[in-house]
Chains A and B, each alone.
Chain A
């Protein structure tokens, strides 16, 4: 085991993994984070904690991840290269590992001009692929980027961060060939798992996944397909028009628009998507995110037949082998 995180155990055991997502608040409301964590406890194997998503200032992902962890949900701490140079990225990995956080997701980050601090200077010291490589090297070799070892004194034990390293992939932004190539680079950099951009366009996703499988990449990295229950057709239209890198079929928008109970329809659509995704070769799990609707994740997971989840800490065959 690389990190012995719950997510790693579930994936290593060959089970279909489920991750959720918690967006930290725009205030110091720790209780809100706890409430969201409790909703997801026992429902997901791990929950992503977003990192100032869409470049809007919120509680930092490390603090929120720690709060979530205390409430019995394993966090996947998202980390963008937008706000941290290589010093901060490495330091935050050490800090996260010291706090017991075992999964990170390495991202470029939405550009700062798109958020609520458009005058900000972005860090963008290294890119997400380079970041994956740095994080993996810290774990595998116990070394910082500069080559220095992670030990307190020369004679002390090496203390590398035991982290499971993830990255994102966008199957929906052409050119497709390029997307495959870039995923291959993330795999070569050492990514353990990949979470995809939210899937609404199943045809486009299948085309992407087919190419991934042809390239054999699905055997080298665990790919989790992103899904999102939406409350209305307006949410879809908004995403189609305003969110970078999304593909949303018009038929889906129409279906949501014509539904008598749009929220129920949104859940149905999401459950159907998950069921289709489970049938696909090359997918090892799903990542369920929402826009401020974490409370629906248990319902989606239940109706998609994803419950119960393996108990946290449940040992897997490969862990027994490596022990």
Chain B
């Protein structure tokens, strides 16, 4: 899933200062699962912003609502009326959702209410970890299904670097060295031989480095 974290109220209050009627829009998908921008968080954010304004002596009309997916026009349509009535929209979706809304409401200010962090998983209750940077060419089959592009701070394809120590990363001693994990896992699945091959250079043109990507599938076009 896409993992996001909540922005602080002070930052959002400043961003939203010029607007009176504000729609705080939660998203029912990834950000709900990672507890950053679902229905519950949208409600909490709306009341926090109302209180913050009230403390400044300003009464604002701040309402929350949540749709299933902000990155999908069909779901945005469901909330069209309430959103259209607002002076500004605070979207608690990932960056894709925020931009989908901005596209749908060309004349209306839309602000992000969360910081989109990464594609990752819930590792333990309250702990989310990054697993994929969406590089556009998945080669983790060569690495025991552990991604060095995402999980090695230097994106090393022939690791580990000299800074790896006791299985930990030089950047943060609390972070596992991706290459230690790869090594252990390749051993466990009897594929150590993969470590001996010099991995070819990455083709970054397939990633966001090659410019913003678009996928066109002719078989799905009408």
Contacts and interface: CB of A to CB of B under 8 A. Distances in A.
Interface of A: 81-82, 86, 108-111, 113-114, 122, 124-130, 133, 145, 168-170, 173-175, 178, 181-182, 184-185, 188-189, 197, 244-245
A244 B165 CA distance: 7
Interface residues of B, number: 28
A140 B163 CA distance: 30
B24 to A, nearest CB: 31
18 contacts: A108-B154, A108-B156, A110-B163, A125-B202, A125-B204, A127-B155, A129-B158, A130-B157, A130-B158, A173-B164, A174-B165, A178-B183, A182-B159, A244-B162, A244-B163, A244-B165, A245-B164, A245-B165
Nearest to A131: B201
B196 A244 contact: no
A130 B197 CA distance: 11
Given A86-B201, A114-B170, 4 more contacts: A130-B198, A175-B180, A178-B183, A185-B198
A122 B153 CA distance: 9
| Interface of B (DSSP majority class) | loop
B164 to A, nearest CB: 5
B183 A175 contact: yes
Contacts of A82: 154
Contact of A113 (B167, B171, B199): B171
A184 B179 CA distance: 16
Contacts of A184: 196
A81 B171 CA distance: 16
Interface in B137-165: 153-165
Contacts of B198: 129-130, 133, 185, 188-189
A108 B162 CA distance: 8
Which residue, A109, A122, A133, A182, has most C-beta atoms of chain B within 10 A? Answer: A182
A57 B183 CA distance: 34
A130 B161 CA distance: 13
